[in-house]
Copies of this chain bind each other. A is one copy, B any other.
Amino acid sequence: MKTKILGILRQEGGGEFISGQELCKCLGVSRTAVWKAINQLKDAGYQIEAVQNKGYRLLSVPDILSKSEIESRLQAKWVGRPIYYYDEVDSTNNEAKRMAEKSPGAGGHGAVIVAEAQNAGRGRRGRGWESPKGDGIFFTVLLKPDMDPANAPMLTLVMALAAAKGIGKSTGLPAAIKWPNDIVVNGKKAVGILTEMSAQVDYVNHIVIGAGINVHQGSFPEKLASKATSLDMELGRQEPVLRAALLASVLEEFERYYEAFMERQDLASLMAEYNSLLVNCGRQVRVLDPLGEFEGKALGINERGALLVGREGGTVEVSSGEVSVRGIYGYV
């Protein structure tokens, strides 16, 4: 109901009024119901003007990350259907996993968990992820695909592609990918992605793909300052980012890329696009392989998501491990 009213008020755009009567008709509800919903929206921070004989109009769209705000913007078939919103959770991945394990019911394929803050946000290999209230978008997509567990790691690249694309489309920023799954803007990290899977030997129970997008931060602690950035910092705050719109955009891209991926359960059809956004491409990289450290020139990913690195004597496929890119995160 609130979702629908928001959608209608926003459609009117340029400050046009829509009468209470029209709203009632559109939604098939009473004027009291409309009036009640409008008041709830005002309480949530929306500036809605009500003028007698004219109706309602939306004066400004605040940066609210709520279930209604996201759902009213989202044009996806099954991703984010539904959205589960929390003011604060330990981590959205943890919440998604708990949901998935409560068999059956809550937490179906495509459910998205969003939180305004995380008090135990996690990065890869047990590292933490700063998740301050109001500054970011912290979300997790829950998937229950019929998939060989060996293919699951590729999904982290699918999300990276969706995040880079979604950020580019909705902010205009040159969001690029640092293999396998960091998103960098002007050489600094703006998004982290953490994919986790619960699997049997040849059967995926569920996959959770979590992402943290730095949006409104104005600065970072000293130890991160040379490596991390936020979208507002890169935009110079000319126009603050609306997080719900950005998230909807990323989720829509994810749905599209995921469906392309699932046709063959590999990255063959996404490789070209991924590589075109790959900040590593053509650059000197340093690979911290379990077998030792070496340098080479990144050539792009293959259809399994491995990074091809050219060096004397041939090309090496790097399928995991840490890869530093010259010029990124302070590596010179």
Contact = CB atoms under 8 A, between A and B. Distances in A.
Interface of A: 94, 97, 101, 124-126, 148-150, 153, 156, 180, 194-203, 205, 320-321
Contact of A194 (B94, B156, B198, B200): B200
Nearest to A148: B320
A198 B124 CA distance: 13
A198 B196 contact: yes
Which of A194, A198, A205 gathers the greatest number of chain B CB atoms within 10 Å? A198
A125 B126 CA distance: 29
B200 A205 contact: no
Contact of A197 (B94, B180, B198, B320): B198
B94 A200 contact: no
B200 A124 contact: yes
A122 to B, nearest CB: 9
B196 A199 contact: yes
A142 to B, nearest CB: 14
B321 A202 contact: yes
Contacts of A148: 320
> Could you say which of A124, A126, A200 has the most chain B C-beta atoms within 10 Å of its C-beta?
A200
6 contacts: A149-B149, A150-B150, A195-B200, A195-B201, A197-B197, A202-B321
Contacts of A201: 124, 153, 156, 180, 195, 320
B203 A124 contact: yes
Contact of A203 (B125, B150, B200): B125
Nearest to A98: B101
A199 B202 contact: no
Contacts of A203: 124-126
A195 B149 CA distance: 13
Contact of A200 (B101, B125, B200, B321): B125
A197 to B, nearest CB: 5
A180 B150 CA distance: 18
A134 to B, nearest CB: 26
Contacts of A180: 201
Contacts of A150: 150
A265 to B, nearest CB: 11
A306 to B, nearest CB: 12
